[in-house]
Amino acid sequence: MRLFVAVELEPRARVALAAALEKLRRHPTLGATSVKWVETRNLHLTLQFLGEVEADAAAAVAGALAPASPLPAFRVTLGSFGAFPPRGAPRVIWVGVQAGAPALGALREEVARRLAPLGYRPDRQQYRPHLTVGRVRRAGGRLREALAGAPSGSEIETVAWGVRRAALFESRLGPAGPSYRVLAELPLAGGAD
């Protein structure tokens, strides 16, 4: 099983982000750029990628994540578009987190703490919460210019939601692309407005 731990978007946040992505896709400076866009239903904020995991190990991971967290629920607001790497030919298009990044970082640390005894370690890179929205196949236009002129800040400020849980997902690859299934939840304390 291919597993990861992430935070999902609420449905209304998905709708608002889908509208912003449609504006970006139609931006005139994209030109001949070829992008594999992530399906709106699959958008998430990854906390930790686990990779291929055997079924018995997946059950242990689910058990480690099951107890409720003392961390409080919180709100996330998305910010502007960007690309990785920051220089050279872009390979990944993302949307950054404008509000809620420290809380996401704390939640990521809790997930890492719970999974470390099972042998799972998070990436060593500094955690920069973001939504991957596209993977660049061929950069043929002026992608960075399109991203700079894309909907951002005030235009996608409606893309905000309350985070009340993290989830363990199984990713299944199919002819129509990946599909995700929740295997376990890590509930947060309290509620978010």
Residues 172, 1: Cα–Cα separation, whole Å? 8
3-state SS, residue 85: coil
Catalytic: 44?
yes
Long-range CB contact pairs, 105-110, < 8 A, 24+: 105/129, 106/71, 107/7, 107/47, 107/69, 107/71, 107/163, 107/166, 107/188, 108/47, 108/48, 110/69, 110/71, 110/186
- How do strand 34-37 and strand 2-8 relate by DSSP bridges? unpaired
* Joined tokens for residue 123: 């990436």
3-state SS, residue 151: coil
- The one catalytic residue among 130, 163, 166, 167: 130
Match 């994209």 to its residue by tokens. 30
- The one catalytic residue among 3, 21, 44, 143: 44
Residues 50, 121: Cα–Cα separation, whole Å? 8
Catalytic: 27?
no
Active site residues: 44, 130
